[in-house]
A and B are shown apart, each in its own frame.
Chain A
Amino acid sequence: MSGEGTYYVPEQSKLPIFASIGLFLTVFGAAGWLNGGGPTLFIVGFIMFAMVLWSWFSIVIKENLQGLNDAQLKRSYVWAMGWFIFSEVMFFAAFFGALYYMRQIALPELGGDNTTNQILWSGFENVWPLMTTPDMATNGADAKVLGPDINMSVTTADSIFTWLPFWNTAVLLTSSITVHIAHTALKNNNKKGFNLWLGITVALGVIFLFLQAAEYIHAYAENLKIHHGAYGTTFFMLTGFHGLHVTMGTFMLLVMWLRSVLKGHFSHEDCFGFEAASWYWHFVDVVWVGLFIFVYIFG
């Protein structure tokens, strides 16, 4: 509901059209690249898109510092960020749903005592993690879709403390707490504490990404790859998209940290940029908990 003053409706802006061109060149370039062309167009488009977004956010920040954003406009931002995160939830839901479907419906059917198994995939047994694909079980040496040599499930770990996903979980859960401490510090007008705890959160995000990269390197070295059947598919797609979101979240928090440390932005009553980034961070954390349970523990 209105009543706080005049809602800020910006003048004409070149941002949207350039953002559209940048986004178009990015995806058009990506499609051309995947179809056998070079990456040039993709890179040009991506740089353009990133630059437009950069100036878009700077303009929004400047407008806020000029006092153009009234309480009502800030509520619009809150709604927008909330619904954006909801859309991300649904994106992950599609991939968790695919994992569920493969494990609970597709594989039991392929390996079950039924005609599908007898006629098409004889010899295939449904064991998760799927190390032997239906193709291997049925076609032996002629199989095209091979299974992985290792998996990342908890059952493969000697001890929970030498198991990398455990440490990943610890790092990410801790970072959710530290970002909350940073928020509380900011609410209490403690800018020093805010900078410290937000810095720690960013560092934890970076550590997570390093551990995740180490896990991928290990996986590829030991022959667990994305094209290794249903296990490789779901493992890399779920952890990969999560990792991508952690990268974005870390970058967002890093920008917020730099804004606070270098420019002195954010006060206890005006900190939406940080709050939005922190919600996003909590969201990637929750996704990780889901991954930890469904990909690693019950993997």
Chain B
Amino acid sequence: MAHGPAKGFSRWLYTTNHKDIGSMYLWFSFAMFLLGGVFALVIRAELFEPGLQIVEPGFFNQMTTMHGLVMVFGAVMPAFVGLANWMIPMMVGAPDMALPRMNNWSFWILPFAFAMMVATLFMEGGGPNFGWTFYAPLSTTYAPPSVTFFIFAVHIMGASSIMGSINIIATILNMRAPGMTLMKMPLFVWTWLITAYLLIAVMPVLAGVVTMMLMDIHFGTSFFDAAGGGDPVLFQHVFWFFGHPEVYIMILPAFGIVSAIIPTFARKPLFGYSSMVYATASIAFLSFIVWAHHMFTVGLPIAGELFFMYATMLIAVPTGVKVFNWVTTMFKGSMTFETPMLFSIAFVILFTIGGFSGLMLAIAPADFQYHDTYFVVAHFHYVLVPGAIFSITAGVYYWLPKWCGNMYNETMGKVQFWLAFIGLNVTFFPMHFVGLAGMQRRVPDYNQFFADFNMISSMGAFLFGAAQLMLLYNVISTIVSGKKASDEVWEDPEGLEWTVPSPAPYHTFSTPPPIK
């Protein structure tokens, strides 16, 4: 095995190193995050005032669609896979990922998939304009021709996710250092093991549903066409069978990151480790039997409404276990508030707000009013932005010194946190109000009496966007000219990654480390 990285640009094309691949995933994801952010700002600029000002309604639809698709599949998921690549082999004491070449393939599919998907914006008839959930028949009978490219882009990014997940499972189950028993694994490893299982279970279902669309569009099948005996509602069932576990795919690794950070800065071991593991597994199991809560207004039988309502509420139990464990970990801890900790605490508080609005939405009769309003938009942005995005940001600040060997600028980190924190609340909190008052999502215009709150939301969105540029600047200046970090970086952090030098050598643990 060569000792250092290869020279030149081809290093990144041909690499088999989990750290190189992890870095590529993270940079790719950040690029997609900015692109998806630009789409979001187009939406918010249009919604700054009532009436149509900046973009055509058709283009507005393409923006809401592409914002969702790029953020879910391009920003959040690859960021978590990047963190998994960087951290899991180090956390379990493995020399690399189990299948290093397939690992690089999983990554390199993504730039092509997203190039193809974003290219649809420039095709005849425009890009996908049917919402990120691409409900039939909007996405079949009434779709622009570019939908075919969208379908194949989803296919290959699904292949990428499945291969990435297989790699992660094989690494965790087969590559642990002797003595690293399952119940000694860091929670980030546990949450990723369960996430990878979810991905392998549902990405093929997503592939199935886009294949059905493809056949309906080009080969005259009747999956989603009642004239031939099919049903558009079938689309929603298959899509959400994928879609609901997908929601947890975007949050379980976040739980793992926060469970690593909070003990470090509370200077106490994580409270209730095993209950965290079982709670994660319970959430994953429940995620398979709640999908129709996205479809309460579609005309389900009453028994279905009740089943999916109660099953959904049940998720609050294991999620509550987690929140109480994080709070108890901090209780009487000797706490300090470095940037990763600030993001983690904000995660716990704001994710809980998103969880509560989720409970409100879970109540079927109440959902009849909330459905497809800005209340839903507020809900899932409260779980995804302070949930997924904040935890990824926290993870980046927490492990960046280990990755590049330099310490980030703490003041700038804290300023960035507060900008992002204020920006996101200013953006999304008013959406609860306009949603409850009846403002529909995915519409470029609105009634004048929603004007004030929308203007506030739009200003918050631009503030949040500016905060992300600050993150970019802080990360780059840390890598280029940050102060040297110590090997341990923090005060007595737990985990094998802190036992290796900073920056972590190109190859770690060629021979397995001893496990206490």
Interface residues of A (CB under 8 A from B): 1-3, 6-7, 9-17, 19-21, 23-24, 27-28, 30-31, 34-35, 56, 72-73, 75-76, 79-80, 83-84, 86-88, 90-91, 93-95, 97-98, 101-102, 105-107, 109-110, 120-121, 130, 133-135, 143-145, 226-233, 236-237
Contacts and interface: CB of A to CB of B under 8 A. Distances in A.
Nearest to A101: B234
Contacts of A2: 94, 175-178, 512
B54 interface: no
A45 to B, nearest CB: 11
A135 B228 contact: yes
14 contacts: A12-B14, A14-B14, A17-B108, A19-B108, A20-B105, A80-B170, A83-B169, A95-B212, A102-B229, A106-B226, A145-B225, A232-B222, A233-B215, A233-B230
A13 to B, nearest CB: 5
Interface string B63-76: 00000000000000
Interface centre among B166, B218, B228, B230 (most CB of A within 10 A): B228
Which of the listed residues A105, A226, A233 has the most CB atoms from chain B within 10 Å of its own CB? A233
Contacts of B237: 97, 101
Interface string B201-222: 1111101110010110011111
B116 to A, nearest CB: 6
B152 A27 contact: yes
Contact of B174 (A20, A75, A93): A75
Contacts of A87: 162, 166, 200-201, 203-204
Given A1-B178, A83-B165, A227 B230 contact: no
Contacts of B222: 133, 145, 227, 229-230, 232-233
A38 B154 CA distance: 22
Chain B interface bracket (under 10, 10 to 19, 20 to 34, 35 or more): 35 or more
- Residue of A9, A11, A35, A98 most packed against chain B (CB within 10 A): A9
Given A9-B1, A80-B170, A16 B104 contact: yes
B227 interface: yes
Contacts of A11: 1-2, 16
B165 A12 contact: no
B98 A80 contact: yes
A226 B156 contact: no
B101 A10 contact: yes
Contact of A31 (B151, B201, B205): B151
A20 B178 contact: no
B205 A79 contact: no
B148 A101 contact: no
A155 to B, nearest CB: 19
